[in-house]
Amino acid sequence: MDAISRNMADEAYEAMSKAKRQRDSGNIKGAVATLEAYLEKDPHNTKPRLLLAEILVYGSDSRSYGMMQLDIILDLEPDNHDARKALVTVLKDKRKNVEECDRHYRYLVEHCPRDAELMNSYAIFCKLQLVDFDRAEEFYLRAIALEPRNSGCRMNYAYLLAGDMDRSEDAKEQLETILSYDPSDAKAQKALAQLMERRFNPDGTPKKKRRFFRRR
């Protein structure tokens, strides 16, 4: 790294540190101004631009301007996974963004195959936005394979199994696995108790499913 590059790196670090302090103290406008001033001198530096995007998206009412910063980063660095992850976080809850968000997710799960939280996030997206329960299961299982003790992933998978796929015994197994790792997990205890009450007989056998017939 030459002297000019070192100087720019130092300035970027100083600008980001100052902006974080301003953000943490509640001075969002000041943080944005600090980063914008630096980016005028070094527009291709994606690290301060990503911080600017995060502050705009999560700390201000300028979400669209923040998303524009993410788009700029991806134009400069199409393989910037942090920017793409931030983008799907913004896009995933809006029905109008489903196709675009799914495209970004597919790119990410291909290029970040060891990220359990990403797999879990995409599984939730598949369930809620795509209503594709089979694909949701696939990515919950990928997340669990990466982090077997991740109770959040297993809990989400159990909800899918019991609530959407009518597989109560499989859901019970997931909840019991969580409790085998952490017997004091109150959320898993409550979910298992509710599941046993609603779907199982006192002896532990599954309740028979009700069948309804139309009158002829």
Q: Which fold has domain 19-91?
A: 1.25.40
pLDDT digits (tens, 9 = 90+) for 98-109: 999 999 999 999
Topology agreement, domain 19-91 and domain 92-147: yes
Q: Please tell me the CATH code under which domain 92-147 is placed.
A: 1.25.40
215 band by pLDDT with thresholds 50, 70 and 90? very low
pTM, to two decimals: 0.87
pLDDT digits (tens, 9 = 90+) for 124-136: 999 999 999 999 9
pLDDT digits (tens, 9 = 90+) for 52-102: 999 999 988 899 999 999 999 999 999 999 999 999 999 998 889 999 999
CA distance 110 to 23: 34
Q: What pLDDT does residue 8 have?
A: 66
Backbone angles phi, psi at 174, to 5 degrees: -65, -45
> Hey, where are the domains in the chain?
19-91, 92-147, 148-205
CA distance 24 to 28: 8
pLDDT digits (tens, 9 = 90+) for 149-195: 999 999 999 999 999 999 999 999 999 999 999 999 999 999 999 99
